[in-house]
Amino acid sequence: MADILDGLIEARSREDAAVDLHDPRTFLAQAVRRRNSDELSAIAEAKRFRERLIGDAAFRTALRSKGSALAHNYERYRPLWDQELGHSVWHSEALDGWPEVRLWKAWHEDLVRFRDLMTAYPSRYGTQPAFTAWRQRQAARAASELGPMHVAITHPAVAYELASGCSVGCWFCGISAQSFSESASYEEHGQLWRQILAAVTDQLGPTARTGFCYWGTDPADTPDYDRFLADHGRVTGWIPQTTTAAPLRDIGLTRRVLSLSTPGEPVLNRFSVLSPRQLHQIFEAFTPLDLLLVELVPQMRGSLMPKARAGRALARETAQPERDLSLSEAATTIACVSGFLINLPERRIRLIAPCKADTHCPDGYRTFADVHFADAAELPDVLDALIADHMPEELPSSLPLGFRHDLGVRVEAGAIRLENDASIHTVSGYPFLPQLASLLTDDPRSVGATIEAMVASGANFFDVHGLLTELYDSGLIEPLHPLPARPMVLRA
Ligand code: SF4
């Protein structure tokens, strides 16, 4: 990843060379600053056209119908809606004949670079080696489970819930959010909140900046949400990104949240849009430029974006196989955090990471630990204990290790082939691989015992240890029994 990003960054213009473009927020600020106001307006208009195209089936049909007046009106965006033309010109010089589309394409490419920088940020700036190594293992495992869609996951290090449950109640909720029961008020929880942010920042360093303030909750359920965000900005240095499915419920709150994004410190926010009606209400409430840095995620019926096969959507598909829910084949989780999930009103902390949603993990993320803390003074010890218990810096020596449960294992021509629906991994280059594969599948044992058995059969100690370490770091082998989520009693 670092090599790719280094290449991208070197390719930036001379004017950008003076700033730290490894910092995603700086990169985004530069991406806006580099364009003049006419270009930004043209991009915002193209973005709105595209959102309507993807989210409004009636508009799409009208646009593509023969002799449509709409087609004439939107001729300047033809490569975006005329699939045949779009495919042929998207990657070619021919796009020069479509200046608005060319501007949009370059903007979109900058947003992809921004996403990649966000993904790289915690490893680049992490101050806690065990946490960084654990996160990298989780990201490698998730990539193997999820296939190509994994690149969309930026693996933030921490998420905070400022409420218990969510009042929106989407039928497709990919993480099966509970019903809403309470929300944190700033008056009551503000001090604890700032202490939590300070403890997490002390523990994780700049990586804590990637935190955001929702999970199985919606920001619209927390009237003081913007005040919590402002504190996050003051303590960590970054205003968190926001996603809400109810941006119009309290439009004053939404505007306050958007106003925390500034030209010097821009924030890329998101609205989930649940119906074509809501899409048009959003269009009426906000100009295209208001929403230049707000992605609209089309979740309505008839959208071109299928819903992830996870959480409540997966449960409904399983319960009603005869219904055509048109769930995504590729997107099998909406989870993104590899790290801590902290609920403020419940004083609860979980250690989680994304995975493919299935019968073992229907909500698309693994939970490695789930504990409560009494107060902010206890939190540093809780974080220390979670890292010590769950993030061994080396291969865990005492637990039996085996291949991940989702991987089919075959030995072919002396190599090990590991395969699931999304990925194929081939391990080759060592004479002892057939024996190692058989040991790990048929007779799993601890690392020490595995190495001992292999060495007794003539394998080189360092080769076996090095390969097991590589397989472990790649998330292909793991402890067969989850590490115990022991109740944490930190004080007598
Ligand atoms: S998808 Fe988001 S808004 Fe909808 S129920 Fe789940 S957490 Fe709430």
* CATH code for the domain in which residue 216 is found: 3.20.20
Alpha carbon of 180 to ligand 1 centroid (Å): 10
CA dihedral 407, 410, 413, 415 (to 10 degrees): 30
Best residue among 214, 218, 314 to mutate for probing ligand 1's pocket (most ligand atoms within 8 Å of CB) is 218
| Domain edge (last residue) among 390, 413, 429 | 390
Q: In this structure, are 180 and 311 located in the same domain? A: yes
> Is the pLDDT reported for residue 399 higher than 90?
no
CA triple 124-214-249, angle to 5 deg: 135
Q: In this structure, are 261 and 335 located in the same domain? A: yes
Q: Which of 77-81, 343-347, 444-448 has the highest mean pLDDT?
A: 343-347
Residue 11: what pLDDT?
A: 40
Q: What does the pLDDT look like over 31-68, one tens digit per residue?
A: 999 999 999 999 999 999 999 999 999 999 999 888 88
Q: In this structure, are 296 and 374 located in the same domain? A: yes
| Domain edge (last residue) among 324, 359, 390 | 390
Pairwise CA distance, residues 160 & 349, whole Å = 9
Is the residue at 396 inside a domain?
A: no
Is the residue at 23 inside a domain?
A: yes
Q: What does the pLDDT look like over 453-473, one tens digit per residue?
A: 999 999 999 999 999 999 999
Residue 20: what pLDDT?
A: 66
Residue 326: what pLDDT?
A: 85
Which tokens is 111 given? 């947003």
> Is the pLDDT reported for residue 80 higher than 70?
yes
Of residues 444 and 279, more confidence is placed in 279
Q: In this structure, are 371 and 414 located in the same domain? A: no
Alpha carbon of 38 to ligand 1 centroid (Å): 36
The pLDDT confidence band at residue 446, using thresholds 50, 70 and 90, is very high
The mean per-residue pLDDT over the stretch 308-322 comes to: 94
Alpha carbon of 445 to ligand 1 centroid (Å): 42
Q: Are 306 and 331 in contact (CB under 8 A)?
A: yes
Alpha carbon of 363 to ligand 1 centroid (Å): 12
Residue 3: what pLDDT?
A: 39
192 — phi, psi (to 5°)? -60, -40
Amino acid at 334: I
* Residue entry with tokens 């919590």: 228
Q: In this structure, are 56 and 160 located in the same domain? A: no
How many angstroms from the chain centroid is the CA of residue 116? 11
Residue 488: what pLDDT?
A: 39
Q: In this structure, are 380 and 443 located in the same domain? A: no
Domains: count for the chain: 3
List all residues whose CB is within 6 A of at least one atom of ligand 1: 166, 168-170, 173, 177, 216, 218, 245
Alpha carbon of 347 to ligand 1 centroid (Å): 21
- Name which residue sits closest to atom 4 of ligand 1, judged by CA: 170
Q: Is 417 helix (H, G, I), strand (E, B) or coil?
A: strand
In eight-state DSSP terms, residue 210 is: G
Residue 486: what pLDDT?
A: 40
Is the residue at 491 inside a domain?
A: no
In eight-state DSSP terms, residue 19 is: S
Which tokens is 187 given? 């008056």
Alpha carbon of 398 to ligand 1 centroid (Å): 40
Residue among 263, 211, 273, 265 nearest 242 (CA):
211
Q: Is 46 helix (H, G, I), strand (E, B) or coil?
A: helix
Residue 97: what pLDDT?
A: 86
Alpha carbon of 214 to ligand 1 centroid (Å): 10
Q: What does the pLDDT look like over 112-141, one tens digit per residue?
A: 999 999 999 999 999 999 999 999 999 999
Is the residue at 335 inside a domain?
A: yes
- Name which residue sits closest to atom 7 of ligand 1, judged by CA: 216
Of residues 188 and 485, more confidence is placed in 188
Residue among 167, 131, 115, 127 nearest 4 (CA):
115
* Dihedral angle sign, alpha carbons of residues 98, 104, 109, 110: positive
Pairwise CA distance, residues 467 & 419, whole Å = 18
Alpha carbon of 9 to ligand 1 centroid (Å): 36
Got the DSSP string for 358-411? SSSSTTSEEEEEEEE-SSGGGHHHHHHHHHHHH--SS--SSS-EEE-TT-EEEE
Of residues 302 and 24, more confidence is placed in 24
Best residue among 161, 164, 173 to mutate for probing ligand 1's pocket (most ligand atoms within 8 Å of CB) is 173
Is the residue at 115 inside a domain?
A: no
Give the CA distances from residue 24 to residues 19, 104, 132, 150, 469, in Å, rounded to whole numbers and listed in that order.
11, 20, 18, 19, 31
Pairwise CA distance, residues 254 & 243, whole Å = 10
Q: Which atom of ligand 1 is nearest to the CA of 312?
A: 6
Q: In this structure, are 262 and 385 located in the same domain? A: yes
What CATH number should be reported for the domain holding residue 441? Answer: 3.90.930.60
Q: Are 488 and 382 in contact (CB under 8 A)?
A: yes
| Domain edge (last residue) among 390, 409, 442 | 390
Q: Which atom of ligand 1 is nearest to the CA of 215?
A: 7
Q: In this structure, are 405 and 383 located in the same domain? A: no
Q: What does the pLDDT look like over 254-292, one tens digit per residue?
A: 999 999 999 999 999 999 999 999 999 999 999 999 999
Amino acid at 407: L
Best residue among 160, 162, 166, 215 to mutate for probing ligand 1's pocket (most ligand atoms within 8 Å of CB) is 166
Q: What does the pLDDT look like over 407-441, one tens digit per residue?
A: 999 999 999 999 999 999 999 999 999 999 999 99
Alpha carbon of 217 to ligand 1 centroid (Å): 6
The pLDDT confidence band at residue 96, using thresholds 50, 70 and 90, is confident
CA triple 358-359-362, angle to 5 deg: 60
Q: Are 119 and 150 in contact (CB under 8 A)?
A: no
Q: Are 109 and 117 in contact (CB under 8 A)?
A: no
Q: In this structure, are 194 and 67 located in the same domain? A: no
> Is the pLDDT reported for residue 397 higher than 90?
no
* Dihedral angle sign, alpha carbons of residues 214, 219, 225, 229: positive
Pairwise CA distance, residues 90 & 102, whole Å = 9
The mean per-residue pLDDT over the stretch 168-193 comes to: 97
Weakest-pLDDT range from 17-21, 25-29, 149-153, 189-193:
17-21
Return the H-helix or E-strand segment holding 164: strand 163-164
Q: Are 197 and 379 in contact (CB under 8 A)?
A: no
Which tokens is 6 given? 């280094």
Residue 245: what pLDDT?
A: 98
> Is the pLDDT reported for residue 17 higher than 60?
no
Q: What does the pLDDT look like over 338-367, one tens digit per residue?
A: 999 999 999 999 999 999 999 889 999 999
Residue 10: what pLDDT?
A: 43
Q: Which atom of ligand 1 is nearest to the CA of 176?
A: 6
Greatest distance between any 2 Cα atoms in the chain:
79
Is the residue at 150 inside a domain?
A: yes
Amino acid at 209: R
Q: In this structure, are 225 and 355 located in the same domain? A: yes
Q: Which atom of ligand 1 is nearest to the CA of 311?
A: 6
Pairwise CA distance, residues 185 & 163, whole Å = 9
Give the CA distances from residue 107 to residues 30, 75, 114, 207, 407, in Å, rounded to whole numbers and listed in that order.
12, 20, 10, 26, 38
Residue 14: what pLDDT?
A: 43
Mean of the per-residue pLDDT values of the chain: 91
Is the residue at 492 inside a domain?
A: no
Q: In this structure, are 321 and 382 located in the same domain? A: yes
Q: In this structure, are 430 and 380 located in the same domain? A: no
Alpha carbon of 382 to ligand 1 centroid (Å): 28
Is the residue at 116 inside a domain?
A: no
> Is the pLDDT reported for residue 15 higher than 50?
no
* Dihedral angle sign, alpha carbons of residues 335, 264, 198, 166: negative
Q: Are 412 and 461 in contact (CB under 8 A)?
A: no
Range of the domain at 462: 401-479
Residue 22: what pLDDT?
A: 87
In eight-state DSSP terms, residue 253 is: H
Q: Cβ atoms within 10 A of the Cβ of 481, count?
A: 9
Residue 169: what pLDDT?
A: 97
Q: Are 142 and 420 in contact (CB under 8 A)?
A: no
Q: Which atom of ligand 1 is nearest to the CA of 175?
A: 6
Q: Which atom of ligand 1 is nearest to the CA of 272?
A: 3
Pairwise CA distance, residues 70 & 77, whole Å = 11
Residue 89: what pLDDT?
A: 78
Return the H-helix or E-strand segment holding 316: helix 311-319
Q: What does the pLDDT look like over 99-116, one tens digit per residue?
A: 999 999 999 999 999 999
